[in-house]
Chain A
Amino acid sequence: MTRAAGRLALLSMMSLMLTTFSAADAARLAPWREGPRAAFTLDGVDGGSRSLATFKGRIILVHFFATWCEPCVRELTSLNALARATRDRPLSIVAIDVGEVDLRVRAFLQKLPVDFPVLLDRDRAVARSWKVSALPSTIVLDADLVPRLFVEGDLDWTGSDTIAALARLDPAIPLRPTTPTASAAATVK
């Protein structure tokens, strides 16, 4: 196989499977078509533990990431903007670091602090039970903790399309980004 043919084969294969880490521009929220996911309780990066059940009654974004994943860094910044914009709204974000040691995650968050809880899936058990095979991945649950939307790859969470999709899950959320991003500005009329 030539190098070009090999690349074509790989690209074709990738297009037929799940979204890859680098497919940033293609990432968008899609309807959830699988079944429910198991509840979890995980340690927080700053101590204590948190269970999924504590978020019942709010829309929740369960975001899986790792510190070594470049798109994850971009998306955490975007999620943080969403968190600030929705501070008074019934929406929560919880980030789950997958398979890294606590001190690594702590050091990372000292450089990139976020306004939402970060939990530690040290043995990847939650990522596996939620069938997460690519990072970053985010599943959006409704107030009854039922998965409704998901996205693999990093997403601009302050984009108007994204905000609208979240708003459809709960009438209390039409939200406005605190600082419109280029993509959001381009789509807002």
Chain B
Amino acid sequence: MDRRQFIASTTAASLAALMPKVAFADTLFAPKPGAWRSVDLITKLEIAKPEGAMQAWIPLPSVSETEWSRPGETRWTGNAAKVERVRDPKYGAEMLHVIWKTDEFMPRVEVTSRVATRDRAVDLDKPGNAPPLSAAERSLYLEGTDLIPVDGIVKQTSDKIVADAKASTDIAKARAIYEWVVENTVRVAATRGCGTGDIAAMLKSGNLGGKCADLNALYVGLARAAGLPARDVYGLRVLPSQFGYKSLGVGSVNVTKAQHCRAEVFLNGFGWVPVDPADVRKVMLEEPPANLGLNDPKVVAARKALFGAWEGNWIAYNVAHDVALPGGATHPKLGFLMYPQAERESLLLDCLDPDNFRYALLAKEVTPA
């Protein structure tokens, strides 16, 4: 990338961050911790065209945070020969491993997980007393993953963003990267699923389009490359937005295609800080009447809030990368675990094709706000 061009774009991004404050007053998107809301997430899964050995792995809400996420009981029914709750050894991502007997006529399982969630917001004006990360956690959330390297073009890009923003503190670096991702990426509706999150390929190709698993992975990679612990949080939208944003909530109890990845960056004193630049681009593309500009009040409000806050209409599965499916055939590791997975005769089904897989996700609120 040409350095002068880069400087122009990042400087403009910094200026843009200052512009929205006037328009913000007209539109409210301001998640604040309040009442907890409990949701039953129901995963109904069948193996299409059953044949031979069959097994499935269903992600379970397994992010437990006292301030915003409380996974509860998980129950299941079906005709499996064996059902076991298993954990990814590195990140602790939980999943239900379901095995059917060979040639089971109609393999099916229904899993219900209760999870409580609420809005989350960090006051970035004053550091709190959040405990520091352990050395092991810090190392884990600074290292590269298969699809999120933190060297090469990712490091070069991160360094330029930070330098051009003249960001000297961790919070300034985190914000500069957030603004850069908002300014320079684009949500592409045609992207399959939530994207693959191959951020080195994105930067090398110059194609910074995608969806949440691309855009927020880019944030995480750039932040890690800047020395800030960061992580993707893979989950699912389960409720409408209480702020009236149609693009940031679900419209029915059927949430089969409502997967959404968010991100966190760790700042000393503040702890894990929620961010979601991908949702800013989603608001721009999808919020009625659609194709909104950066200065649209709805975009301005979302952009301001989504550095430091999340709405609790979403539940978190896990923060895992490079996930091996325990007990599965030899497959490459998954970049992330956000969709049900299943094998039929050692071949993975297409998790992004729920109608042919087949699975459905339903979310029912059981404790009104």
Indicate if the CB atoms of A12 and B207 lie closer than 8 Å: no
Q: Given the complex, which residues of A lie within 8 Å of B206, measured CB to CB?
A: 13-18, 20
- Check A14 against B184 for contact (C-beta < 8 Å): no
Q: Could you tell me the distance between the alpha carbons of A187 and B294 in the complex, rounded to whole angstroms? A: 44
Task: Check: B201 CB closer than 8 A to any chain A CB.
Answer: yes
Q: Residue A2 at the B interface, CB < 8 A? A: yes
Count of chain A residues with a beta carbon within 8 Å of a chain B beta carbon = 31
Interface membership of B332, Cβ < 8 A: yes
The count of residues in chain B whose C-beta lies closer than 8 Å to any C-beta of chain A is 41
Judged by a CB distance under 8 angstroms, whether B233 is at the interface is: no
CB pair A2 B294 closer than 8 Å? yes
Bound state CA distance, A125 and B348, in angstroms?
18
Q: Is A16 a contact of B13 with CB atoms below 8 Å?
A: no
Q: Which residues of B contact A134 (CB under 8 A)?
A: 201, 204-205, 207
How far is A9 from B206 in the complex, measured between Cα atoms in Å? Answer: 11
Q: Report A1-35 residues with CB < 8 Å from chain B CB.
A: 1-3, 5-6, 9-10, 12-21
Separation in Å of the A111 CB from the closest CB of chain B? 13
Among A95-103, A154-162, A172-180, the one that faces the other chain is A95-103
B207 touches which of A15, A20, A104 (Cβ 8 Å): A20
In the bound assembly, the distance between CA atoms of A1 and B13 in angstroms comes to 5
Q: Complex Cα distance A9/B331, Å?
A: 40
Chain B residue nearest to A3 (CB atoms) is B293
B22 to chain A, nearest CB (A): 15
Q: Is B176 an interface residue (CB 8 A)?
A: no
- Within B137-195, the residues touching A (CB, 8 Å) are 183-184, 186, 190-192
Which of A9, A18, A20, A102 is the one whose CB lies under 8 Å from B5?
A: A9
Indicate if B15 sits at the interface (CB-CB under 8 A). yes
Enumerate chain A residues within 8 angstroms of B122, measured Cβ to Cβ.
Answer: none
Kindly state whether residue A144 has any CB partner on chain B within 8 Å: no
In the assembled complex, the Cα of A43 lies from the Cα of B186 at a distance in Å of 35
Q: Cβ of A1 and Cβ of B2 under 8 Å apart?
A: no
Are B205 and A18 interface neighbours, CB within 8 A?
yes
Q: Does A41 sit within 8 A of B, measured CB to CB?
A: no
What chain B residues lie within 8 Å of A101 (beta carbons)? 347-351
Min CB distance B263 to A, Å, is 21
B16 contacts A by Cβ under 8 Å: yes
Sampled A-B contacts (8; CB under 8 Å): A3-B293, A9-B12, A13-B206, A14-B206, A17-B204, A17-B205, A19-B205, A134-B201
